[in-house]
Amino acid sequence: MNSPSASSKPIPDTGAAAPSSPPERDAELQRLRDLLVGDQAARLRRVEAVLDDRARHVETVAEVLPEALDRAERERAPALEAALRQPLDKALLASVRNNPGEIVAILYPVILPAIRQAIQQALRGFLERIDALITRQFSADALRWRLEAMRSGVPYAEVVLRHTVEYRVVQALLIQSRTGLLIAHVHTDDAKDVDSDAVSAMLTALEAFVHDAFQNRASGELERVTVGDHIVYLAHGPQATLACVVQGVATPQFLERMQQTLDALHLSHGEQLEAFQGDPLDDERLIATLRSLLETHYRQSERDQTRVQRQMKLLGWGVLVGALALTGWLGWRAWDHHRARRWAAAVDAAPGVVVYEVARAGGGWRLRGLRDPLATDPAALLREAGGDPARVRFDLAPYQSLEPAIVERRLMRVWRLPDGVRVTLDGQGRAHLAGAAPADWLRDFLARHATVAGVTELDLSGLRVVPASLRASIEREIGLPEGVTLAVRDGVLRVQGEATRDWRRRLQVLMTGLAPVLQLDDSGLRPGELRTLHELAGWMEAETVRFIKNTARLDPEGQAALFRLAGLVDRFRTLADRIGQTYLIHVRGHATDTGTPARNRQLQRERAAFLLNWLVEQGVPPARVTVELPEQPGAMPAADLRIDLPDGDTAS
């Protein structure tokens, strides 16, 4: 079969418009096409299917991504690291902002144990130092150690540490394993200064020597170096070595903690440890981790252990005895409290006594509550209940009980009923009085009946006042003016006659106490001060104030008249104000007919004005003074008064 490329005729395009060909020719063309491009077309379809399959893309990326990251890490490809850092940082920041609870839950198992361990170590060290100080300060060991310090010349503190400290970490060095460079160094305050770089170089040289000398042995790493009375312990890691300078012999627990600390530093500072080039590494977290290794562990002697065991046994027996004693004491207190409750119930059941608290007071009991003064003595009630009054102190505040038995005792004690008066209780707080009662007793009874607790209402409809006793009571209290008559009829006291207003007010006050039983009718009383007021008005009208002829100046007789009028005006004004009597004083000015009418009218006006102003100066209200100018001439140059006293008054 000839190659298709050798044919000089082109293969016809089946997609173009062409005359129809026979079916045999189309079939031959299809077979020829399959022979020429069949494999490439199938491959192309498979490639297109793969490109269109997104799930296949995800699987392919997942297969090659770990290999690419591993290769970038081995070849230190900075481009990939830079490309991944920014999206990872953003994703972590968004996760922290959106889901802080989940981040805390993730970090909780890592951070919390570290914090707890640090606090426990700090408290343990503090307590151990306090215990060592108290135990050793005043003991035979302390005396022996002081003698040793004096004999050897070694400071006492160092002698104490030598005998009491099992081991003490004074320095911690972190050295890069690859170069032997010192990364960080911490030490205690009292540790001697050393060349940390020299120590680092020495340890690196020793490490190299050990590796070269024992390269075929299983233990090819240096674990400790002894220098005088110090031991340098080493913990190894892939990036760094941790060396601790210890006084004494460290425990396996400390060596294990060293290794754990180094592992934690690799986890938190791995990149810094690997990239360290000799510059000081000032990282607070790393320094704090190293400082946590600087600890002091005290030993406990056998004698101390024996003493502690003996103390624990004594403490156990003491706790047992104390528990038994406490149990017995609590049982006795419970029984005693029950008995006191029974005593309190017996006292509380009595009328007029309320007990609301039972409390211990010293070796006895205190009952707090309320007690009516008419109730039975609580000490007697306590003895009846079988109690001991010597062990009970009563703190009972006074009050008034409303129990029927106490109300009955209170009525019999407070209401001293006279002969002829009886009282009955209806059971609903109402007390009914009936009979003939003296006025004095009834007034006193009505004044204090409201203080009788338990009586909410008082019925006095059955009481009547004895007239003879009422008259005697009035005569004794306020007196009985001459001409005043008294009459009691249908529960009303009628008073008639003439009496002063003061006596009338005193009678009203006196009868206020009897108002619920006896009413007062004093409309027939006339004020007795009115007669005196009329007499004073007549004396004032009889006085004439004389003036010098043709003037408004007083002559000697006029001055004497004003002197007499001053006393009368003061008495008149005071009495009228006291009884509430209204009045009006008319001032009249007089002139003779010797002058002209105009001059005479002017003199009348001036003389009346002089007297009016004088009255106002004496305290008479201006509204109660008026001026009159008579039309007829007077017999002499003078001025006088005319007083009006209305029949009614404003007094109550």
The terminus-to-terminus CA distance of the chain in angstroms comes to 159
The first and second tokens of residue 197, run together, are: 């770089």
The residue among 536, 552, 542 whose CA lies nearest residue 606 is 552
**What are the pLDDT digits (tens) for 176-217?**
887 878 888 888 877 655 666 667 677 777 676 666 665 544
Give pLDDT, residue 649.
41
Reported as type and span, the H/E element at residue 489 is strand 485-489
Q: Which long-range contacts (CB under 8 A, 24 or more apart) does 306-314 make?
A: none
Q: pTM of the predicted model, to two decimals?
A: 0.30
In CATH, what is the architecture of 529-644? 2-Layer Sandwich (3.30)
The residue among 506, 486, 488, 475 whose CA lies nearest residue 436 is 488
Q: What is the DSSP letter of 215?
A: T
Give pLDDT, residue 4.
40
CA distance 348 to 354: 5
Give pLDDT, residue 618.
92
Angle at 384 between CA 378 and CA 385, to 5 degrees: 90
Domain extents in the chain: 139-212+220-299, 307-398, 404-527, 529-644
| Count of H-run helices and E-run strands, the chain | 18, 19
Q: Hey, is 403 helix, strand or coil?
A: coil
Q: Hey, is 402 helix, strand or coil?
A: coil
Give pLDDT, residue 611.
94
Give pLDDT, residue 538.
92
- CA 302 from chain center: how many Å? 56
CA distance 161 to 168: 9
Q: Are 524 and 496 in contact (CB under 8 A)?
A: yes
Instruction: Indicate if the alpha-carbon torsion angle 626, 631, 634, 637 is positive or negative.
Output: positive
CA distance 617 to 614: 5
* Size of the chain in residues: 652
CATH code of the domain made up of 307-398: 3.30.300
- Residue 416: φ, ψ to 5°: -85, 90
Does the fold of domain 307-398 match that of domain 139-212+220-299?
Answer: no
Give pLDDT, residue 302.
54
Reported as type and span, the H/E element at residue 506 is helix 501-512
**What are the pLDDT digits (tens) for 124-165?**
655 555 555 555 555 667 777 778 878 877 777 666 666 667
Instruction: Indicate if the alpha-carbon torsion angle 305, 306, 312, 315 is positive or negative.
Output: negative
Find the DSSP H helices in 349-482.
378-384, 404-414, 439-448, 467-477
Give pLDDT, residue 61.
75
In CATH, what is the architecture of 139-212+220-299? 2-Layer Sandwich (3.30)
pLDDT along the chain (652 residues), means of 10: 41 45 72 73 75 73 74 66 73 74 61 60 56 55 77 72 76 85 83 65 70 56 80 88 87 90 88 79 84 80 62 80 87 82 87 87 85 87 83 86 79 76 77 80 73 77 79 83 79 81 82 78 77 89 92 92 92 87 92 88 92 94 92 87 73 34
Q: What is the dihedral of CA 589, 593, 596, 601, to 10 degrees?
A: 10
- Residue 433: φ, ψ to 5°: -105, 140
CA distance 445 to 198: 115
CA distance 406 to 352: 6
